[in-house]
Amino acid sequence: MNAPSLELIGFSKRFGGLAALDEVSVKIVPGAFHALLGENGAGKSTLVKCAMGYYAADAGEILLNGRQVVINHPKQAHELGLGMVYQHFTLVPNMTVLENFVLSRKHLPSVIDWTVERQRLKDFFDTTPFTVPLDLPVADLAAGQKQKAEILRQLYLKRTLLILDEPTSVLTPDEADEVLSTLKQMTRELVLTIVTITHKFREVNAFCDTVTVLRRGKLVGTRPVSELDNDTMAEMMVGRRETRATVEREQRAAGKTVLQIEGLSVANTVGQLAVDVLSLDIHAGEIVGVAGVSGNGQRELVETLAGQRHAEAGVMKVHGERYTATRPEMIRHRIACLPEEPLRNACVAEMSVAENMALRSFDQAPASPDGVRLRRAPMRDVARRLIEAYRVKTPGPDAPIKALSGGNVQRAVLARELSSEGDLLIVANPCFGLDFAAVAEIRARIVQARNRGAAVLLVSEDLDEILQLSDRIVVMFDGKLALQTQAAQADVGAIGRAMAGH
């Protein structure tokens, strides 16, 4: 009977020029299973991190059980009984579950009596709805068990208000149901109050009682789940949008097929299937926008196309020939790629702008007349031309590329990739973190490439960008294509639902 209430009043937070949170207020009643819904960058994580003391909010106050509290540090939040469970795991992988739990306790005896500790934890596990093996190293637990252990540890530390940050993104639907339904039971018994950040309507409908929707740092509204249907939620989440904006595009029919992906399966870093038997064709003169919440396999798809990750199964074909993302194939088929975080994924940070711009062509004439010697002068000439044409702001072609701003690194990589007039352009989150002018320019370049007949695969977490640029839109959810539609007939509501798994 100790589930607290929590009220966040007037929270604002700016990161540089960007208002991540703008006067957001939420009230969470005792025993609530409260969902925070919104797209990437809507401000959900920022809000809860301010509440937990990870960020200092620019404005805002917190009422816990109606009393004003000050939380400047996560420790203070923990002492008030607030706990957070993250998408990623925080347990120490090389220690057993038992050791992890005991270590996180406040007062440790100098010699630990493991029989007593084990018994104490076993007794505690008798009161919890699910358990995990005590003596396995956390590294050996499956993702679902790890997430359960994270939640159990919060309960073990007697936290009464849990904030879950996309807790089920690493779980299978069955595991998610098991974890969430037991938590639901505990909120019913008023043992716990839960705030959960999610994108999945299914979970909101099945487990949550109240939904707060954020969009671009602003509060859209807080409503009981019973009053909402999926269409309304999707509309609250993505808003009403103009589907066409200013980029000039030629009317042109899609040409012949350039990229064929057939039954592609790719594993992520921890070995789970991130791309799950995906098939997709892209034609010349067409931009195919891949929408979706991040973490649904987009990154792995792009990495496979760029040659950074190997496929578990399936075939990729370019111009009808099998494509395995080797350098000769990329040169022959004229494939260009602008991955996300280009400084990390497409550049050598310590090398100069000119050298980075030559990464695709340094072993061919004129930079290398015989494939052995390198000639700096032609490399610099090409770089100067590209810097001029793409208006890259740099002290000169010999400056290290890491000294450039994000937008200029993006421009430099785009210049390199588009200078070869590629047949296939793969672009991932090209405008992430860029200012207005840079965004418009980079989008225009992408459309230009399409207009001259390149096939473009555009992966973006920004739905506006997808709607603005694409000829055809697909939605990726859980490694599969959840929806395919022509952009002209796109129904934003349907896209929003597909992004949330409906």
Distance CA 94, CA 442 (A): 45
Nearer to another protein, 16 or 271 (CB): 271
Q: Which is nearer to another protein, 135 or 250 (CB)?
A: 135
Q: Which is nearer to another protein, 99 or 461 (CB)?
A: 99
Of the candidate residues 10, 93, 320, 396, the single one contacting another protein (CB under 8 A): 93
Question: Which residue's CB is nearer to another protein, number 269 or number 489?
Answer: 269
Q: Give φ, ψ of 363 to 5 degrees.
A: -95, 10
Shortest Cβ distance from residue 119 to another protein (Å)? 16
**Per-residue string for binding with another protein, 62-81, x by CB under 8 A?**
------------xx------
Q: Which is nearer to another protein, 94 or 251 (CB)?
A: 94
Nearest distance, CB of residue 17 and another protein, angstroms: 29
The distance of closest approach from Cβ of residue 111 to another protein in the complex, given in angstroms and rounded to an integer, is 5
Q: Which of 278, 323, 329 minimizes the C-alpha distance to 300?
A: 278
Using CB under 8 A as the binding rule, whether residue 94 contacts another protein is answered as yes
Of the pair 15, 114, the CB lying nearest another protein is at 114
Q: How far is the CB of 113 from another protein (least distance, A)?
A: 8
Query: What's the min distance (Å) between Cβ of 89 and another protein?
Result: 11
Residues 417-476 interacting with another protein (rule: CB under 8 A): none
Contact 460, 439 (CB under 8 A): no
* Two tokens, residue 34: 């409260």
Single out the residue of 39, 99, 203, 441 in contact with another protein (rule: CB under 8 A): 99
Q: How far is the CB of 492 from another protein (least distance, A)?
A: 40
Rounded distance, CA 123 to CA 225, Å?
A: 36
Considering only residues 59, 63, 69, 92, which one is a binding residue for another protein as defined by CB under 8 A?
Answer: 92
Give the shortest CB-134-to-another protein separation in angstroms: 14
Q: Amino acid letter at 57?
A: A
Q: Exactly one of 70, 103, 399, 488 binds another protein (CB under 8 A); which one?
A: 103
- DSSP, res 139: G
- Cα–Cα distance list, 492 to 243, 348, 464, 483, 487 (Å): 9, 39, 10, 11, 10
Instruction: Measure Cα distances from 120 to 101, 114, 249, 279 in Å.
Output: 11, 10, 68, 52
Per the CB < 8 A criterion, the answer to whether 415 and 425 are in contact is no
Measured from the CB atom, the residue of 51 and 487 that comes closer to another protein is 51
Q: Which residue has the tokens 């002290």?
A: 395
Alpha-carbon gap, residue 66 to 57, rounded angstroms:
20
Which positions from 105 to 134 touch another protein by CB under 8 A, shown as an x/- string?
---xxxxx-x--------------------
Please identify, using beta-carbon distances, which residue of 116 and 403 lies nearer to another protein: 116
Spatial separation of the C-alpha atoms in residues 101 and 443, rounded to whole Å = 50
Q: Which of residues 250-289 bind another protein (CB under 8 A)?
A: none
Six-digit token string for 228: 């909402």
Site for another protein in 20-59 (CB under 8 A): none
Residues 218-257 as x/- pattern, contact with another protein by CB under 8 A: ----------------------------------------
Beta bridge partners of 7: 27, 63
Task: Determine the interface stretch with another protein among 88-96, 372-380, 426-434, 460-468 (rule: CB under 8 A).
Answer: 88-96
Q: In angstroms, what is the minimal distance from the CB of 54 to another protein?
A: 11
Judged by CB, which is closer to another protein: 349, or 437? 349
Q: Give me the amino acid identity at 312.
A: E
Kindly tell me which of 78 and 497 has the beta carbon lying closer to another protein. 78
* CB 120, min distance to another protein, A: 16
Q: In this structure, what are the phi and psi dihedrals at residue 326, rounded to the nearest 5 degrees?
A: -90, 160
Closer residue to another protein in complex, CB, 206/273 = 273
Give the Å distances, CA to CA, from 485 to 17, 151, 482, 490: 35, 39, 10, 6
Q: Taking a C-beta distance cutoff of 8 angstroms, is the pair 496, 235 a contact?
A: yes
Please check whether residue 276 is in contact with residue 297, taking contact to mean a CB–CB distance below 8 angstroms. yes
Among residues 132 and 225, whose Cβ is nearest to another protein? Answer: 132
Q: How far is the CB of 212 from another protein (least distance, A)?
A: 28
Residue with tokens 């980029």: 247
Distances (CA, A) of 45 to 1, 14, 214, 448, 459: 28, 13, 11, 36, 22
- From the list 100-108, 153-161, 289-297, 344-352, the region that binds another protein by CB under 8 A is 100-108
Rounded Cα distance, 91 and 342, in Å: 31
Give min distance, CB of 362 to another protein, in A.
27
**Three-state DSSP class for 351?**
coil
Determine, following the binding rule CB under 8 A, whether residue 310 of this chain makes contact with another protein: no
Give the burial string for 220-249 (b: 16+ CB within 10 Å, else e). Answer: bebeebeebebeebbbbbbbeeeeeeeeee
| CB 466, CB 291: distance < 8 Å | yes
Three-state DSSP at 385 gives helix
For the CB of residue 448, give the shortest distance to another protein in the complex, in Å: 40
> How far is it, in rounded angstroms, from Cα 478 to Cα 481?
8
Q: How far is the CB of 83 from another protein (least distance, A)?
A: 12
Nearer to another protein by Cβ, of 108 and 403: the residue is 108
Q: Identify whether the C-beta of residue 482 lies closer than 8 Å to the C-beta of residue 501.
A: yes
Q: Is it true that the peptide bond before 328 is cis, omega within 30 degrees of 0?
A: no
Binding site for another protein (CB under 8 A): 74-75, 90, 92-95, 99, 102-104, 108-112, 114
